[in-house]
Amino acid sequence: MTKPATKIPTVFIDGEAGTTGLEIRDRLAKLQTVTVKSIAPEVRKDPQARQAMMRDVDLVILCLPDEAAKEAVRLADELGTQSPRIIDASTAYRVNPEWVYGFPEMATGHAHKIAAAKRVSNPGCYPSGGIALIRPLVEAGIVPSDYPITVNAVSGYSGGGKTMIEAHEAGNAPNFDLYGLGLAHKHVPELQLYSLLTRRPIFVPSVGTFRQGMLVSVPLHLDTLPGKPSISDLRAALQKHFVGSKLITVVDGEDAAFKSGRMEPEGLNGTDKMELRVFGSDAHRHAVLVAKLDNLGKGASGAAVQSMGMMLGVDV
């Protein structure tokens, strides 16, 4: 008897013309495990056309502004039992308890929650690095949940949306721009929640004149932490948390960054990898934790594709 052919899951990217949507579409085009369905350009904003597409696919990835994403979810919910599974790349649902946060390495068993989820919120690029550095230390009891954390970060301009991209590529943007100085950046709620922090962290982002790549850093005064941990204690806690991870590596040893005391943000571009390093001075009892990633990879499109693979049970 001939074995019946396995149905290939179908995916609709609502908002595929944006930076994140285009990146996801390019990634999915290289896969044979899913079929991407697109809506005609002339009706891509028509609610009925979008809802009809949602009815016909297994999973929808939303690459829309927050309010548009909420409207898309309402359209999907109206379908009832025919509603597709959703990954939302906006900030609209990242701290919503009814949605699963799409960071599988965040905690033991979290990948299974993503695989079973009907609704998944895609992490922000900056919080991905911050959570990876902070949460394992809070879980290990090295950093108290109410510790006054500061997170500094720099990203390539592709993470800033269409207007920022156009300004940089036209040469109309500064070489370096510190922003979010009102200390109310939209990524702070998810950074605090999923890092298990009870005290709101100070988050200061910045952007440079390179297209993509990211560094997220967290400075620590070791003598202000319980038990006065060593630099090796911090590194060991991170290594224990991410042991066996295919994408997140805790770099240990004398690589170029440790030897020079310098780091550049673009070395992981084009990958979904994240590297974590612990720099420090035993003499001064200071440490700086640094996450390096592609803001369009593990920080955005790559994370969405990773969650999609888990939800649909396909290789990506």
Catalytic residues: 125
Q: Check: CB of residue 124 under 8 Å from CB of residue 157.
A: no
* Cα–Cα distance, 60 to 87 (Å, whole number): 6
Which tokens hold the place of 313? 């049970």
* Cα–Cα distance, 159 to 239 (Å, whole number): 28
Q: What is the DSSP string of 208-277?
A: ESSSS-EEEEEEEEGGGSTT---HHHHHHHHHHHTTT-SSEEE--S--HHHHHT---S-TTTTS--EEEE
Task: State whether residue 194 is helix, strand or coil.
Answer: helix
* Cα–Cα distance, 131 to 122 (Å, whole number): 14
Close Cβ partners of 170 (under 8 Å, ≥ 6 residues apart): none
Q: Check: CB of residue 263 under 8 Å from CB of residue 291.
A: no
Q: Check: CB of residue 11 under 8 Å from CB of residue 36.
A: yes
Tell the residue number behind the tokens 């009102």, with chain if given.
182
* Cα–Cα distance, 301 to 91 (Å, whole number): 14
Q: What are phi and psi of 248, to 5 degrees?
A: -105, 125
| 82 secondary structure, DSSP code | G
Task: State whether residue 154 is helix, strand or coil.
Answer: strand
Q: Which amino acid is at 195?
A: S
Strand partners, 290: 217, 277
